[in-house]
Amino acid sequence: MNAAAGNGGVAVPRTWASWPLSAWTGALMLAFWVGVALLGPFFAPHGEGQLLTNDSFAAPGVGDLLGGDYLGRDVLSRLIFGARRTLGLAALITLLAFTTGVVLGFFAAIAGSWIDGLLSRIDDVLLAFPSLILALIVIAALGTSIPVLIVTVALIEATRIFRVARSLGMDIVAMDYIEAARARGEGSWWIMWREILPNAMSPLAAEFGVRFTYSILFVSALSFLGLGVQPPNADWGVMVRENLQGLLFGSTAPLIPAAAIASVTVAINLLVDWQLRQTNRDDSYEPVP
| Reported pTM | 0.85
Contact by Cβ (8 Å): 161, 203: no
Within 13 A of 232's CA, how many CA atoms are on the CB side?
Answer: 13
Total count of residues recorded for the chain: 289
pLDDT at 201: 87
pLDDT digits (tens, 9 = 90+) for 49-105: 888 888 888 888 756 788 889 988 999 999 999 999 999 999 999 999 999 999 999
Question: What's the pLDDT at 7?
Answer: 45
In the chain, % of residues over pLDDT 70: 90
Look up residue 261 and give its amino acid.
Answer: I
Which CATH architecture fits 36-282? Orthogonal Bundle (1.10)
Chain mean pLDDT for the chain: 85
Q: Where are the domains of the chain?
A: 36-282
- How far is the C-alpha of 102 from the C-alpha of 229, rounded, in Å? 27
